Amino acid sequence: MSNHRSIRPRSLLCALCALWTLLALPTAPAQAATADGVSKSVVKIFATLRYPDPYKPWTKQAPTDVSGSGVVIEGQRILTNAHVVLYAGQIQVQADEGGDKLPAHVVAIAPGIDLAVLALDHAGSFFSAHPPLARASELPKIKDAVLAYGFPTGGSSLSITKGIVSRIEFVPYNFPVSGLRIQIDAAINPGNSGGPAVVGDRMIGLAFSKLAGGAENIGYIIPNEEIELFLADVADGRYDGKPAMYDELQTLENPALRAYLKLADSIHGVVVHEPLETGAAYPLKKWDVITQIGDHRIDDQGMVKIAGDLRVDFHYLVQKIASGGHVPLTIVRAGRTERISLPVSAERPTLVRDLDGGYPSYFIYGPLVFSKATWQFLNVLQKPNVARALGLMASPLLCAALDPPTPRRRELVVVSSPFFPHQLALGYSDPAGSVVRSVDGIAVRSLDDLVAILRDAKGPFVTFEFDQRTGETFVFPRQAMVDATEGILTDNDVRAQGSPDTMAVWNAGRTAAAARAPVAARGP
């Protein structure tokens, strides 16, 4: 939601005039005064971003200039969205139209919940003229009037749009993080991201998104409750994340399902379809019915009541009542009611992971480029033809991305790019997007593992097999691959054969051959 589309600009003066017209005359002056007070706490943020290139992991994408909004908070800090400053090489903050742009830097960031805190490099007297904006301690009510402040694309003046709170839900943000979200019918446009939404004279949250698909006047706000959790988390200088449940559940609405489980009419809740873990020590089992979280009853749609008549997904309460990495649940198992303590975590380890603000690891061997599979790399699946082809090949990128790591496979290793031009690749098909299954018949457990296998190889040939239904086995002369690598790097203006982590493995002293089991079956 940084500046990608142009919109009709609206100055602060025009916005206040519109508010005067819309509001009843007795209350208009008070509202205008409130808007003027809030505006002193709202800033415009300029950032130059260098995004990673998952398909050319040895380089970065060209610099991109974006702008967004932010709000001054306590501690001489500025709160904004993570996506406004993620991968920023340069950040500047401007408080007033035509005012100085002050350099700033990120002091805390959480891409999952899309929040970040900035500090000015040299604050001077800035914060004496731009005080922190007070935050409401409770969720707003449905139909509360709300003003959204920010600097949308198309002009340099502060914009204020008016709407109402229309919905409050607990929804997914960026995998695997979920959180509360407020929907409003005020216009939220590119550049508004990071600006405050205000009810009365207090901030209720931070603008961060709009409904995709071209729908008008449907915007989304990160509520204060999520902001407070984030700020409390980063108080020690590190972001740990929010605890969550990752078990697969289903609703208990179908009468046949209730009859199958022999449940009394008085029992309500959700059914465990697939527990996160299957070991005997894990407290949830398939077909368990979760009826309560803490002291809150769960209905057959998996919802709980909070703040009066407001209903949200019961997972919301995990972040509220978890203690010591556990959350109390009441379940019905085989007709008996039990109380259990379920372990919860801020992380959900999977074979495909997020770059989370970092740059991809990679390793180049001859004309081949290897990297770890990431969600950024899998953005290619948004193209239907690509997803269909991977499905027909039974690629792990499509069918195993969410599988947990195991000792036999800790991550998916992919060929991230087409072959570099070289005669060594003569006659082989483009391997880009293929998941490496084995090298010289040895199962590849991780990218570091692949590099170590290549480092310790001694035979005249090196072979690569891929984890897919169709394709080829690549056979290369081993020494020729090693000898060709430096020239390939030079010809293609690649500065390093690998990222620092993989080069540390490649350059390590040769070790005694580890006991490695030959590949017996496809898959992890």
Collapsing DSSP to helix, strand or coil, 523 comes out as coil
352, 401 Cβ separation under 8 angstroms: yes
Name residue, tokens 């010809």. 491
Active-site residue 296, yes or no?
Answer: no
193 is catalytic: yes
Q: How far apart are CA 482 and CA 220, in angstroms?
A: 52
Q: Of 39, 67, 83, 499, which one is the catalytic site residue?
A: 83
Strand intervals (E) in 95-158: 102-110, 115-120, 145-150
Directed axis angle between helix 28-39 and helix 12-22, to 10°? 150
Q: Which of 193, 209, 416, 417 is catalytic?
A: 193
Cβ neighbours around 436 below 10 Å, total: 22
Residue 195 contacts residue 150 (beta carbons within 8 Å): yes
Cα three-residue angle 418-424-425, rounded to 5 degrees: 35
Picking from 351, 331, 322, the residue whose alpha carbon sits closest to that of residue 245 is 322
DSSP string, 271-323: EEEE-S--STTSS--TT-EEEEETTEEP-TTSEEEETTTEEEEGGGGHHHH-B
DSSP 3-state assignment of 161? strand
Residue pair 350/403 in contact by the 8 Å Cβ criterion: yes
Q: Which residues are catalytic?
A: 83, 193
